[in-house]
Structure 1
Amino acid sequence: MKILIAVHHFPPRYTGGAEWRVYRTAQALQARGYSVRVICIERIDQGETQEVTWRDEIFEGVAVRRLSFNLKNAPDPERWEFNNLWVREQLRQLIQQEQPEILHLFSGYLMSGSVLALAHELNLPSIVSLTDFWFLCRRLTMWRSNGQLSHLPLNPVTCARCLGEERRLFRWPGRLMPQLMNIYWQRQTKRINLLQDRSAFLLHVLNQTHTIISPSQFLRSLFIQAGLNPHRIVYMRQGHDFPELTEERMKKTPAEHLRVGYLGQIAEHKGVHILLEALRYLPQAPLTVDIYGDFSAYPRYVSRLRRLAANDGRIRLVGRYQRQSQLSSILRNLDVLVMPSIWYENSPNVILEAFAHHTPVIVSNLGGMAELVINNKDGLYFTPGDAADLAQVMRRILNEPNLLSHLQSGIAPIKNLKQEIDELEAIYQNVVAAGRQAG
């Protein structure tokens, strides 16, 4: 079977969770004898014309076509964000060249809904793996630029205001004159109509897709609430493999204090500041906090974190880490992981990775995090955005000597990559068979 996988980015330049998941999936499918080709976006800021360039290469055994263009030069950049006709035509050429039997889209971000519209036009069976909220929210997170969470049903006026207030030009008037700015945004009919078109188009192409895979029940229910046919969307948690992880390597190195860690993106919606603020409620507590992640993406936010960490020797802003080579050693030296996100999350890889290493997780009682962690069994909840409540949870671990071992014993085995690919393979077979019957 020939499989064409479409994704916004692909390693080695991009190394996010979705990118590595596609890489692992492609390699695992090839190991089972499938022919796999990946198409991705390499740059959206390249060139001064409407030209799309591409290059083919092999990355660690996986054939990849990388597209580059300048989205700002598109005939209608705002509309092409969700219906990119350049990507559609590039994909058409690749499909004609490769003749795949199935198209598998991850996320939808940057590739846009045009790839699903094309698959439907060509009667090519298609699958979508949801990795974020892009089909519902242009910001991917359903977390507004003013720091508030969005809820369904989404209001296009609110969405227009959220996107507008990403710019300082509108942000400050929105804070100083909220009622006046409400009237302003209600009158932005062109933007509102565009966002309504976005929602209608993306829901339409999703409902033409054979199968949508959601890695969490939370995300599945959200998309059904948004209007997706419930028969099209299935729940399938992602798998992880740690072939070199033995029982001996999972044993924690001894320490006389509580070792708390954060691993992930360093951005405001991830709530790293909540963790650092919590330490102010625990000034004398015997604990350390290590923060791992890329500090280069959001310098203003990182400056805020550095101010919070100043004069507290218990905090280490470690920086980037190599997931494949360093993850196990990092988790071996942590007693508990904290995921303080102030957005919903989906099916966070870092929680599954922590569980694979017998590490309990403290999470915001929200969305996909609260679904993965069972309170008082394999982790603990705290109120989202509440540093004082997080401090109380960490104080509880310090005051209850047996709590950590109790939580460790409650961690169930996670799904491995073989199990995930077994399930995906069955979906592929069903989708292709259904396509042949329809044809």
Structure 2
Amino acid sequence: MEDSLKLLVVVHHFPPDHISGAEWQAYRIARGLRQRGDEAHVICVQSDARGPAGQLGYTDGLYDGIPVRRLYFNLPLAPDPFRWSFRNPLVERQILSYLEDFQPNVLHLISGYLMSGTVISASRSLGVPVVLMPMDFWFLCPRVTLLRRDGSVCDAPEDLVECALCLAQDRRRYRLTARLTGGASNRLLRRLWRSPAVLRGMGKADLLAALEERRRYLRGMFRAPDLVISNSRFLREMLTTHGLHNPRFRQLRQGIDTERWVGDSEKEPSPYLRVGYIGQIARHKGVDLLVRAFRRLRAQGPPPRLLLYGNAEQFPAFTRRLHRLIDGDRRITFAGTFPNERILEIHSGLDVLVVPSVWYENSPNVILEAFAAGTPVIASDRGGLAELVQHGVNGLLFRMGDAGDLAVQLQRVVDQPALLESLRKGIRPVKTVQEEIAEWLQIYHSVTQGVEHGWSAVN
């Protein structure tokens, strides 16, 4: 029998206050290890805008039996907030102290966002093996998402002038000038800021220097872990293409915790098509795109319905925009939130799920959960979504950001009822969380023993 493990999971947030993909990944791993008798602790950030300057506080507690340390510090009051965002000495000291007390066999860092690269350097300095799991673009992009402020996708994260211009849009004067000039001011700045003399004259030389420092430092931190794991081929290729290299960079698809689900997957009969969305009610998730596409649908029989599951109060300005787009259309309903245990019940009332994201998703749980519940998916054709959804097999794909093409795919489902049944039959079994935990155990034991994995992808 393998020796028991002591694992420290480090992640930017953790349930119950935050329940996105990275948080659930951390929870699944910690809970799975503790269920088999291993020790697993979690460190997360409760707030990066709380407390006096230069100090880090924390609270210790339990979540579902998992020991969790929740940090708080005030990044805006740091001597250099931008540099501290990727190289935080307060976090480094906290991780060093916790490692010395807990003495884990492995540290598992998820994302790096809010925690900074010092988690890796602290662990390496004490000889604790590190598994890094990027689940977003934080190592490439200070905004994490590769989304510009105007919602467009950045395809050139290695261009530091573009990064500087993107960050400058946080200031109202740059946004207002760009709006008044139809973007001409940004085009001019894009040329001017490539001159060191102009940068110095405009006071932007240090921003470019800090961006270069960020890139150099995080590339070094990315090379340091004993193993780097990505949920999707897309994220692995994207990070590697843009200069983040580690010879021990592998892929492992996450599992779904179906044991906690209640009910069954039998679809409730309905005279009309039921289209669903589950997730954040947010711009980068493309919910407005879905509303525009849905409102174009026409049906010979009973009109289709759209159910929007998510917290409509999280981004109130965006929700107001959605209400204007909906314009009283009674076919569209804000259905609120629900606990994960009710997934089967929710999907029993859906015929198809739409994932209309306008940014590069990695490996969304919402798609795997839909497949586990027997629901076909219509998704954007970029990023990790296109790995999971096979057009015409287990779902349909549409051009990312194109409401017209999404409407075409939805209309196909309206006009061809037999298509849905065909897509359901194309859904393959989804990995369970128990299978995923078995793979993580293999990984943790291998890095503690200095064994190199031979596999390149586990799906």
TM-score normalised to the size of structure 1?
0.95
CA distance in 2, matches of 1:320, 1:80: 35
8 Å contact kept, 1:52–1:86: yes
The aligned counterpart of 2:274 is: 259
CA distance in 2, matches of 1:389, 1:12: 37
CA distance in 2, matches of 1:313, 1:385: 24
1:165 is displaced (CA, Å) by: 1.0
Which consecutive unaligned segments of at least 5 residues does structure 1 have? none
CA distance in 1, matches of 2:188, 2:392: 47
Structure 2 residue 61 is the aligned partner of structure 1 residue 60: no
- Amino acid of the residue matched to residue 189 of structure 2? M
Which of 168, 171, 178 is the aligned partner of 1:167? 171
* Aligned Cα root-mean-square deviation (Å): 1.8
Which of 333, 350, 372 is the aligned partner of 1:356? 372
Would the alpha carbon gap of residues 116 and 429 (structure 1) be closer, same or farther in structure 2, given more than 3 Å must change? same
8 Å contact kept, 2:86–2:116: yes
The aligned counterpart of 1:298 is: 315
8 Å contact kept, 1:173–1:181: no
1:75-224 matches, cutoff 5 A: 75-152=79-156, 154-175=158-179, 176=181, 177-183=185-191, 185-186=193-194, 187=199, 188-224=204-240
Structure 2 residue 335 is the aligned partner of structure 1 residue 337: no
Structure 2 residue 418 is the aligned partner of structure 1 residue 402: yes
8 Å contact kept, 1:124–1:435: no
1:228 is displaced (CA, Å) by: 3.2
- Amino acid of the residue matched to residue 182 of structure 1? R
Query: Identity of counterpart residues, as a percentage?
Result: 42
1:266 is displaced (CA, Å) by: 1.4
CA distance in 1, matches of 2:226, 2:27: 23
Which of 311, 332, 335 is the aligned partner of 1:318? 335
SS of structure 2 residue aligned to 1:151: coil
1:311 is displaced (CA, Å) by: 2.2
CA distance in 2, matches of 1:435, 1:349: 30
Which consecutive unaligned segments of at least 5 residues does structure 2 have? 453-459
SS of structure 2 residue aligned to 1:249: coil
CA distance in 2, matches of 1:189, 1:244: 53
1:301-341 deviation digits (Å, cap 9, x = unpaired): 111101111221100022222223x3221111000000111
CA distance in 2, matches of 1:153, 1:103: 28
- Amino acid of the residue matched to residue 206 of structure 1? F
8 Å contact kept, 1:146–1:162: no
8 Å contact kept, 1:374–1:380: yes
- Amino acid of the residue matched to residue 321 of structure 2? R
The aligned counterpart of 1:28 is: 32
SS of structure 2 residue aligned to 1:344: coil
Query: Number of matched residues?
Result: 434
1:218-237 matches, cutoff 5 A: 218-229=234-245, 231-237=247-253
CA distance in 2, matches of 1:323, 1:189: 48
CA distance in 2, matches of 1:391, 1:340: 11
Structure 2 residue 274 is the aligned partner of structure 1 residue 270: no
- Amino acid of the residue matched to residue 188 of structure 2? L
- Amino acid of the residue matched to residue 115 of structure 1? V
CA distance in 2, matches of 1:352, 1:193: 41
1:153 is displaced (CA, Å) by: 5.3
CA distance in 1, matches of 2:257, 2:8: 24
